């Protein structure tokens, strides 16, 4: 049997005013990714899978985010917010192409999984016209209730239209629906707006499917998977669910975490084998940690690559573009940015390494600073293989330190240092024999005079 084609329509129109933010709701993030990116990531991809995103007017940023995540995303604008059925019809042109399965999802329901989308498509294959994703809500207030009679889904009743009896139903509509693609458009086009809110409710499709003598079924899932986000409180709750999921997946993939509840991961964090993450580590998007690496406590990292058996922290900060080679080490209070630190190199204490390339096995002493910014432009620092940078040195970029070169402690290096050269930049040290004793004598006399 050939695979069924699909079109997923993600509804992402609306301001999300209850977020109290100028950012469109679906661009808020959990686990380092926008809500929209999470949903799009779960939607079917590959051959025979189309994707449409319905956005509000003047929401170019939402369109750009959709295209960034899925370059094949077709964008449609819903010019007036007249309800979920009306929103779906904004993508009429895509729906009319007649994919086998039509899936509808909401952009503000980020915890939905690819498995659930797949599970919803199965009944269509067996002849159902519509599958609705349902869940038992701890508090069903506000959700559409699934009205089931004799084990069959007969209607979805929105909160505002539900009778007192219907409001007692806890089985609710999660918002994800899967239609048999052939008949979907005719059904959705017939939906009216004769209800309490005067909106075109997509949920009315259920009753219509039944009236046509076709079958509508419920696929159940957990409430955690379909948490919708309307407020910052709900955003934080969804973050907690996502973090728990990511930690569990990491543990199950073999990552050692002493206190996983204190480790924050991003949806795209990648781990090799035998990675250890100590308590209180924050990992932002774009981080890859290779086999055997150890991330010590209180480290913060984003868009960085950690090599095999590399050591990071405690208290390290790796900013975007940091790359640590195999066996390399970044110690406490070290900040890196756009820095390639090759295999075996060490930056053990209190340093800033930015816009830099540090050769293999180089050693940067405590307090080494790359002075990469002149107030106007950023410049590069190149440190050769096996170079040794003495403690408290400032390397004023652009500057190149040759392979195997040696920089004396406390130097301010502004000129390139050739391979294997020794460079010290500091005033000559003077010594006066007995000078301290004489100084003490003078000072004690001064103090005694004042005391009189
Ligand atoms: C909707 C469902 C309800 C379900 C709940 C689950 C309908 C009529 N109701 O209610 O049964 O229990 O979700 O969370 O479908 N949208 C548009 N354009 C519109 C209206 C909505 O794009 O004109 C988008 C929103 O951006 C949002 C989604 O559709 O992503 C749901 O809309 P919302 O107004 O939040 O619906 P609910 O009242 O929560
Ligand atoms: Ca909602």
Query: pLDDT tens, 56-83?
Result: 998 999 999 999 999 999 999 999 999 9
Grade residue 159 by pLDDT with cuts at 50, 70 and 90.
very high
Rounded mean pLDDT, 293-318? 98
In 32-189, beta strands by DSSP E: 33-34, 49-55, 74-77, 101-106, 130-136, 145-149, 152-157, 171-180
Grade residue 314 by pLDDT with cuts at 50, 70 and 90.
very high
Q: Is 2 a member of any domain?
A: no
Rounded mean pLDDT, 31-47? 95
Alpha-carbon distances of 157 from 140, 154, 299, rounded to whole Å: 12, 10, 49
- Whether 411 and 358 map to the same domain: the answer is yes
Last residue of a domain, one of 226, 254, 272: 226
Residue 46 · residue 72 · CB < 8 Å: no
Res 452: pLDDT: 73
Looking at the structure of the chain, the number of domains it has is 2
Res 354: pLDDT: 98
* CA-closest candidate to residue 16, choices 64, 79, 59: 59
Q: Is 374 helix (H, G, I), strand (E, B) or coil?
A: coil
Q: What is the pTM of this model?
A: 0.91
Q: Is 279 helix (H, G, I), strand (E, B) or coil?
A: coil
- Whether 160 and 254 map to the same domain: the answer is no
Rounded mean pLDDT, 36-50? 95
Res 3: pLDDT: 85
Q: What is the pLDDT of residues 13-31, one digit of tens each?
A: 977 778 999 999 999 999 9
Q: At residue 446, does pLDDT exceed 60?
A: yes
- Whether 294 and 174 map to the same domain: the answer is no
Res 33: pLDDT: 97
Q: Is 442 a member of any domain?
A: no
In 275-380, beta strands by DSSP E: 276-277, 281-283, 288-289, 294-295, 300-301, 304-306, 311-312, 316-318, 322-324, 329-341, 346-358, 363-364, 369-371
Catalytic member of 296, 349, 357, 379? 349
Res 70: pLDDT: 97
Segment holding 271, helix H or strand E: strand 270-271
Q: Is 111 a member of any domain?
A: yes
Grade residue 34 by pLDDT with cuts at 50, 70 and 90.
very high
Q: What is the pLDDT of residues 340-358, one digit of tens each?
A: 999 999 999 999 999 999 9
Last residue of a domain, one of 226, 253, 276: 226
List residues bridging with 281 in a β-sheet.
263
Ligand 1: atom nearest CA of 200 is 8
- Whether 195 and 301 map to the same domain: the answer is no
Residue in 57, 106, 161, 231 to alter for ligand 1 test, most ligand atoms within 8 A of Cβ: 106
Range of the domain at 304: 244-423
Q: Is 111 helix (H, G, I), strand (E, B) or coil?
A: coil
Which CATH number is 321's domain given? 2.160.10.10
Rounded mean pLDDT, 113-118? 96
Kindly state if the Cβ of 179 falls inside 6 Å of ligand 1: no
Q: What is the pLDDT of residues 285-302, one digit of tens each?
A: 999 999 999 999 999 999
User: What token pair was written down for 243?
Assistant: 């973090």
- Whether 222 and 249 map to the same domain: the answer is no
Which CATH number is 153's domain given? 3.90.550.10
- Whether 115 and 215 map to the same domain: the answer is yes
Q: Is 443 a member of any domain?
A: no
Q: At residue 1, does pLDDT exceed 60?
A: no
Residue in 8, 9, 14, 192 to alter for ligand 1 test, most ligand atoms within 8 A of Cβ: 14
Q: Is 253 a member of any domain?
A: yes
Last residue of a domain, one of 226, 255, 279: 226
Q: Which residues, at least 6 apart from 429, have a Cβ–Cβ distance to it below 8 Å?
A: none
Kindly state if the Cβ of 85 falls inside 6 Å of ligand 1: no
Give the number of whichever ligand sits closest to the CA of residue 173: 1
Phi, psi of 406, deg, nearest 5: -130, 125
357 catalytic per annotation: no
* CA-closest candidate to residue 48, choices 111, 105, 1, 106: 1
Q: What is the pLDDT of residues 232-289, one digit of tens each?
A: 999 999 999 999 999 999 999 999 999 999 999 999 999 999 999 999 999 999 999 9
Res 88: pLDDT: 98
Res 2: pLDDT: 65
- Whether 319 and 366 map to the same domain: the answer is yes
- Whether 266 and 412 map to the same domain: the answer is yes
Q: Which residues, at least 6 apart from 144, have a Cβ–Cβ distance to it below 8 Å?
A: 156, 157, 158, 159, 172, 173, 201, 203
Q: What is the pLDDT of residues 328-340, one digit of tens each?
A: 999 999 999 999 9
Give the number of whichever ligand sits closest to the CA of residue 231: 2
- Whether 130 and 271 map to the same domain: the answer is no
Kindly state if the Cβ of 111 falls inside 6 Å of ligand 1: no
- Whether 180 and 325 map to the same domain: the answer is no
Q: Is 438 a member of any domain?
A: no
* CA-closest candidate to residue 385, choices 407, 356, 416, 363: 363
Q: Is 388 helix (H, G, I), strand (E, B) or coil?
A: strand
Q: Is 254 a member of any domain?
A: yes
Res 58: pLDDT: 86
- Average per-residue pLDDT in the chain? 96
Res 17: pLDDT: 79
- Whether 249 and 202 map to the same domain: the answer is no
Q: How far is the CA of 84 from the centre of ligand 1 (A)?
A: 6
Q: Is 436 a member of any domain?
A: no
Res 451: pLDDT: 81
- Whether 248 and 221 map to the same domain: the answer is no
Give the number of whichever ligand sits closest to the CA of residue 84: 1
CA separation for the pair 205, 209 (Å, rounded): 6
Alpha-carbon distances of 450 from 436, 438, 443, 444, rounded to whole Å: 21, 19, 11, 10
Phi, psi of 109, deg, nearest 5: -125, 75
């Amino acid at each position: 049997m050939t695979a069924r084609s699909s079109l997923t329509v993600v509804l992402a129109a609306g301001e999300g005013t209850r977020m109290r933010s100028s950012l469109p709701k679906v661009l808020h993030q959990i686990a380092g990714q926008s809500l929209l990116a999470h949903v799009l990531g779960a939607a079917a991809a590959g051959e025979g899978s189309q994707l449409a995103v319905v956005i509000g007017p003047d929401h170019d940023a939402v369109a750009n985010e959709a295209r960034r995540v899925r370059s094949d995303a077709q964008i449609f604008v819903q010019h007036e917010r007249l309800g979920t059925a009306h929103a779906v019809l904004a993508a009429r042109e895509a729906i009319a192409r007649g994919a086998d399965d039509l899936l509808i999802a909401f952009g503000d329901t980020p915890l939905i999984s690819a498995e659930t989308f797949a599970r919803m498509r199965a009944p269509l294959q067996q002849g159902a016209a519509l599958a609705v994703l349902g869940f038992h809500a701890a508090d069903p207030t506000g959700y559409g209730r699934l009205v089931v009679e004799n084990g069959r889904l007969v209607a979805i009743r929105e909160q505002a239209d539900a009778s007192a009896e219907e409001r007692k139903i806890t089985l609710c509509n999660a918002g994800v629906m899967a239609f048999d693609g052939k008949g979907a458009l005719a059904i959705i086009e017939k939906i009216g707006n004769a209800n309490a809110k005067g909106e075109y409710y997509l949920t009315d499709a259920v009753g219509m499917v039944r009236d046509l003598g076709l079958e509508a079924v419920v696929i159940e899932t957990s409430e955690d998977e379909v948490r919708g986000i309307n407020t910052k409180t709900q955003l934080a709750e969804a973050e907690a669910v996502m973090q728990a999921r990511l930690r569990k997946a990491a543990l199950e993939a073999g990552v050692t975490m002493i206190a996983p509840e204190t480790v924050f991961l991003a949806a795209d964090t990648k781990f090799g084998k035998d990675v250890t993450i100590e308590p209180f580590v924050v990992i932002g998007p774009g981080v890859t940690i290779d086999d055997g690496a150890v991330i010590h406590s209180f480290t913060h990292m984003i868009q960085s690559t950690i090599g095999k058996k590399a050591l990071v922290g405690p208290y390290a900060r790796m900013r975007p573009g940091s790359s640590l080679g195999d066996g390399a080490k970044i110690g406490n209070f070290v900040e890196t940015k756009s820095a390639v630190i090759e295999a075996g190199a060490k930056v053990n204490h209190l340093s800033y390494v930015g816009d830099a390339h540090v050769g293999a096995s180089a050693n940067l002493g405590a307090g080494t600073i790359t002075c990469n910014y002149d107030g106007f432009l950023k410049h590069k620092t190149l440190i050769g293989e096996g170079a040794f940078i003495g403690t408290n040195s400032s390397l004023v970029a652009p500057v190149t330190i040759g392979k195997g070169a040696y920089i004396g402690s406390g130097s301010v290096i502004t000129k390139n240092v050739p391979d294997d050269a020794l460079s010290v930049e500091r005033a000559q040290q003077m010594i006066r024999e007995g000078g301290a004793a004489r100084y003490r004598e003078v000072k004690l006399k001064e103090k005694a005079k004042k005391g009189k």
